[in-house]
Structure 1
Amino acid sequence: MQIVLATHNAHKVEELRRILAAQLPGIEVLAYDGPEPVEDGVTFTENALIKARAAAAHTGLPAIADDSGICVDILGGAPGIFSARWSGPAKDAGENLRLLLWQLSDVPEEHRDAHFTCVAALALPDGTERAVTGEWPGQLLFQPAGVNGFGYDPIFLPEGYAISAAELSAHVKNQVSHRAIAFEGLVPVLREVLGAP
């Protein structure tokens, strides 16, 4: 069975293929090559469903998408849905990270709580839709550490770990991250809705 993954982000494609392959070996995950929809939702769920709907409509296949970001408590949950374009429309991950570090430069450790949120959404060409949320709690570091992740991973210290998300192996991250939690929650939905093994 084929499903399309509604993202043009190569990092996400590889990460999600690894996560889903372990859970649903009978499903072939295809990369999406269609137009990118306007993400004008005001929540992670709305934006994930916008992307999944667009991919399902474009390909005629069941489509899954996610919307994710980092939510910093002292910033009232920001950057949140604006995580990818926090420093501007160029979506420069390095600039986003530097801006967030600068904004929190005077904030002491005890006030640097944050969490990653991911909503994984499924949309079928017939209009069936589902969404599942995953959260990964932790704190923000004062300096980047590690090279294994992307986005804000180098400054995120996951709860229960002494190293950044960018220092975790892909194997560990694929078990504990917000994306792993959300897509793991989507697996029974895929089985139910698609009849996947």
Structure 2
Amino acid sequence: MQIVVATHNEGKLVEIRRILEEDLGPAAADIELVSAGSLHLPDPVETGVTFQENALLKARDVASRTGLPAIADDSGLIVDVMGNAPGILSARWAGAHGHDKANNALLLAQIEDIPDAKRTARFRCAAALVVPDTEAGADVTGGVADGGEAALSSAHTTAADGGPAPISARYAIASETVELGEMSGVIIRKPRGEHGFGYDPLFVPDDQPAGRTSTEPDYEGEPLTSAEMTPAEKNAISHRGKALKALIPAVEALLAD
């Protein structure tokens, strides 16, 4: 079964694939995850005012375009002293979407004078699974006449640059599930670590892997940032990991159909 992950970030696709493999076990072999970016699908405008609304918006858009189940997540950093900002604007806090270094630098400047004890924060994630109603067929607005993988294949053949073209069909939605996950911690004053993305180098989670501390010069013995953790360590405690793990029953039910 193909499931489309509503992202153009291949790093996020890898992370979601790893989380599903850990929780689904052998059943994960029955799922082929593909990204919306690899299918040349456009990014929908995120008009929601909550993580849940934006996750569902993205998953609905992909499912309705492809006729395939879609997983989407929306996540961000909530800094308590900033009145829960940057929140849903986390990825574009400095202006340009996904400019991690600029976002981190701006956040550090904004809370520069805040004492360490008051730099508490949380990552929050909403993960959504949306399943299209392929039995009802597609309301065709362009060159796709049937549902499922046949439609997916035939719709991606005519882009001007020789690559696949965006799917133009629209499918009704059969079901949707959304789950929330959080990871609490504190914001440090300088980035540490080479893994992860976004604000990971600035965030020290409250939950830490046993027996592991920072090995970076001047910080030996300090708790790890998210960016210093291995992918498995981060997934075990992360907001995205918790939200996706909560989706597993819905994914299992989909596989059983």
Q: Establish whether residue 151 from structure 1 lines up as the match of residue 212 from structure 2.
A: no
Q: Deviations over 1:27-59 (max 9, x none)?
A: 221121211100010000010011101110111
CA distance in 1, matches of 2:206, 2:189: 16
Residues 88-167 of structure 1 aligned to structure 2 (within 5 Å)? 88-126=95-133, 127=173, 128-161=175-208, 162-167=223-228
CA distance in 2, matches of 1:153, 1:22: 22
Q: Deviations over 1:61-88 (max 9, x none)?
A: 0000000000000111100000000000
Determine the structure 1 residue equivalent to 2:142.
none
Residues 32-111 of structure 1 aligned to structure 2 (within 5 Å)? 32=36, 33=39, 34-111=41-118
Q: Establish whether residue 27 from structure 1 lines up as the match of residue 31 from structure 2.
A: yes
Determine the structure 2 residue equivalent to 1:8.
8
The structural deviation recorded for 1:125 is: 1.2
Q: Deviations over 1:127-182 (max 9, x none)?
A: 21110000000000011011111100000000033110000011111211111000
In structure 1, list runs of 5 or more residues that go unmatched: none
Task: Detail structure 1 runs of 4+ shifted over 3 Å in the superposition.
Answer: none
After TM superposition, the score normalised by the length of structure 2 is: 0.74
The structural deviation recorded for 1:196 is: 4.2
When the two chains are superposed, the root-mean-square deviation of aligned CA atoms in Å is: 1.3
What SS does the corresponding residue of 2:75 show, helix, strand or coil? strand
Tell me, yes or no, if the aligned pair for 1:27 and 1:196 is still in contact at 8 Å: no
Tell me, yes or no, if the aligned pair for 2:46 and 2:54 is still in contact at 8 Å: yes
CA distance in 1, matches of 2:248, 2:241: 11
The structural deviation recorded for 1:89 is: 3.2
Q: 1:27 to 1:106 in 2, by over 3 A?
A: same
Q: Which amino acid aligns with 2:230?
A: S
CA distance in 1, matches of 2:45, 2:131: 19
Q: Which amino acid aligns with 2:227?
A: A
What SS does the corresponding residue of 2:180 show, helix, strand or coil? strand
Q: Which amino acid aligns with 2:224?
A: I
CA distance in 2, matches of 1:29, 1:175: 21
What SS does the corresponding residue of 1:38 show, helix, strand or coil? coil
CA distance in 1, matches of 2:234, 2:21: 15
Q: 1:160 to 1:23 in 2, by over 3 A?
A: closer
Q: Establish whether residue 183 from structure 1 lines up as the match of residue 190 from structure 2.
A: no
What SS does the corresponding residue of 1:37 show, helix, strand or coil? coil
What SS does the corresponding residue of 2:234 show, helix, strand or coil? helix
Name the % identity: 50
